Structure 1
Amino acid sequence: MTSFTQSTGTLVPLTATSPSAQAPSFTRSLPWIEDVAKIAPRDARALSKLFFDQLQFLEEGTHEYQYARNTLIEMNQTLVRFAASRFRNRGSGEMDDIVQVGTIGLIKAIDRFDLSRGVEFTSFAIPCIVGEIKRYFRDTTWAVHVPRRLQELRIDLARAKEELESDLGREPTVRELAAQLTLSVEEIIDGLVAANGYTADSLDPPRDTSDGLVRQRSRTYVDTVGGCDPAIELVDDFHALASLLAHLGERDRRIIQLRFGQEMTQSEIGHELGCSQMHISRLLTRILAQLRTGMLSDH
């Protein structure tokens, strides 16, 4: 069993045959760590391998299993703090929540880690922790629904903007952000627009309506909101109609386009298509009835 000095924490080497009096009776093959906070990161990595190696042979639910698992969680809190630092631009008041969520990701990583794969635990754990934090922001902090791709882009934009502002001494342009993130200008614009959905202001707080030394009657933002546009319902109708038109045959769509798009008469349409005016009239009646039925069923 490897010995550890006081500089890396108070560790008591244990063996199966000679347990230390300073350690609880349930420990057998693991060193007892009195103060995890004193362990240097380098030693924490070596100890983690030792604890993972023993954890796979311990029975879940036993005191020794819980000791090994909890010690791994405490020893690797530096990974959580490292991952959480990527989100520091969100404000110090939220950092405690980020660390707590990151710790959940760490616990999941510990429970899923397989030492036999030959992968360093650090390489496996960091993506798990960051992924858990991103899911937290995606699921709980956005005021409106925004695609996951744009939610993650908002984080990258905030970090790139902070770096460029530090280098340039001014706010970066869209093109400079695009070059920094190796994205197109259109993608950057989409990300900036989507970022507006991260928070939403209430309509109830009063506005500052002071005019010089004379303070006007307090008003809220909702006082400035206009009334409903009577034609707004047509927007839904147009969307529904567009879908129905897409399912028409090519000739039927052509007739609708000539009649209502170019405002041609039935006789003119018949001449265009080589049909009689009577035949065009019957076709229009059928097409409009089909569209009307579709509109009513959609609503």
Structure 2
Amino acid sequence: MNVLASEKEFEKMETKELFEVFSEDKSNTTVRNILIERNLYLAKILSRKYINKGVDYEDIYQVASLALIYAIDRYDISKGFEFSSFATPTIVGEIKKYFRDKVWTMRVPRRIQELSKKISNAKIYLEQENKKSPRPSEIAEYLEITEEEVLEAMEASYGYQPISLDTPSNDDSEDKDMTLGDRVGSEEKKFSQIEERDFLEHFMKNLNELEVKIIEGRFFNNKTQSVIAEEIGISQMTVSRLEKKIIEKLKKEYLKAV
């Protein structure tokens, strides 16, 4: 079978099968590239969580994509967890590291730092004097500098001075009453649940039918032990004993996973 034919065969395989092949032969670049293409959606979705946070989306996406490749190379399918549950914390961790190392540690020229302090003091004075937040043009007039210099210093100061998300956006649009927090993309909470969901699904597969009914009834349907006991046809004491046993088993499996 030639290389082209092999690649076509690999493309027809399920992702799980590809990971099994790759785990046996890490030098198989064909399978590796297919796995990267199929899972790039993870990098895209997780990158979007950090839109409008001071860094270009393309830069964040590049970091996320490299983290995805790193996760593919390290993923061990024999442990039984879904790839998404393994890759998500790896990708998010690399993005956060990028923000720490590349964004918040940027150096701002001393001239800009000194001007930023003057602008901050001028804003406080003008706010007290005029009972409203001053515009850049008003600050420039008060300090006898150009508006461009004010804007440059304000923009540069974002690199080393944290800003409250409750700060008004101070623009001239119809949404002038919006805060910076209103303009920042909200975090998709479901992504933080990916690892837990995959872990629970894997754990539930190892329970017997009776244990599954108890877990589903107690923690998914919010039923009492007495209601579950009546439905199944056993005593409440038995339900309580099995529930404790399952929870202990859950704790042990979780400690192994982390």
Give me the TM-score of the superposition, normalised by structure 2: 0.41
Q: Which has the higher contact order (CA 8 A, sep 6+)?
A: 2
Structure of greater Rg: 1
Which structure is higher in helix share? 2
